[in-house]
Amino acid sequence: MILFLLTLLTLLLFYNFRYKRQHLPPGPTPWPIMGNVFEMGRSPSWNRLFYEWKVRYGGIYTYWLGETPIVNVCDYRLAVELAVKNADAYADRVQLPHSDFAMRGGILGIVSTNDEMWREHRRFVMKVLRDFGMGKNKIQEHASLSYKSLAQLHKSKGPVVVTFN
């Protein structure tokens, strides 16, 4: 009986450490059944812990909450590539069992939703941001106009004192 249990435990460990992790980005080694919960519990700040993992494993890494893998993207360029250029491929994400409780009242918004609701929220947010000038060089246009105004003022009245208040 003990030999059977040891064999079963060995197979479970092999499955956890090898098979389940082989197609995921690298990350901290999880404990069987518990994942990386112990490391997260010992850390005074999850932000600091996630930053340490980013430094150690790169801009994309996997950590585990229990038996559930969480792929964390910490690199801006990679996040843009995943969320903007390949958005439809990543629209259907697994919802964690506790996320409804953590979100207090439902899984809403562009970060937490899936499938069609996610696409609809994303379209809305992108439209609003475009209306506010995202993707356009509004600041550059404003700076260029200010520079031209200052240059004309300099030609007509001489040196100009610029203050930022």
Give the tens place of pLDDT for each residue, 101-120. Answer: 555 555 555 555 666 777 77
Q: How large is the C-alpha radius of gyration of the chain?
A: 25
Q: What is the pLDDT averaged over residues 68-80? A: 85
The rounded Cα 22 to chain-centroid distance in angstroms is 22
Boundary (domain end) residue, out of 68, 86, 104: 86
Q: Is residue 41 part of a domain?
A: yes
What distance in Å separates the CA atoms of residue 42 and residue 54, rounded to the nearest whole number? 18
Instruction: Specify the pLDDT at position 47.
Output: 85
Q: Is residue 163 part of a domain?
A: no
The per-residue pLDDT for range 86-96, each reduced to its tens digit, is: 766 666 666 66
Q: What is the pLDDT averaged over residues 50-64? A: 92
**Residue range of the domain that includes 2:** 1-86
Provide the mean pLDDT of the chain.
77
CB count in 10 Å sphere of residue 140: 9
Closest CA relative to residue 47, chosen from 77, 85, 74: 74
The secondary structure of the chain in percent helix, strand, coil, rounded to multiples of 5, reads 60, 10, 35
One domain, residues 81 and 99 = no
Q: Long-range pairs for 19-22 at CB < 8 Å and ≥24 separation?
A: 20/69, 21/62, 21/69
Question: Domain total for the chain?
Answer: 2
Q: Is residue 157 part of a domain?
A: no
One-letter identity of residue 156:
S
What distance in Å separates the CA atoms of residue 51 and residue 61, rounded to the nearest whole number? 11
Helices (H), the chain: 2-14, 37-42, 46-57, 76-80, 99-102, 109-112, 115-131, 138-157
Q: What is the pLDDT averaged over residues 47-54? A: 90
One domain, residues 74 and 5 = yes
Q: Is residue 72 part of a domain?
A: yes
Boundary (domain end) residue, out of 64, 86, 108: 86
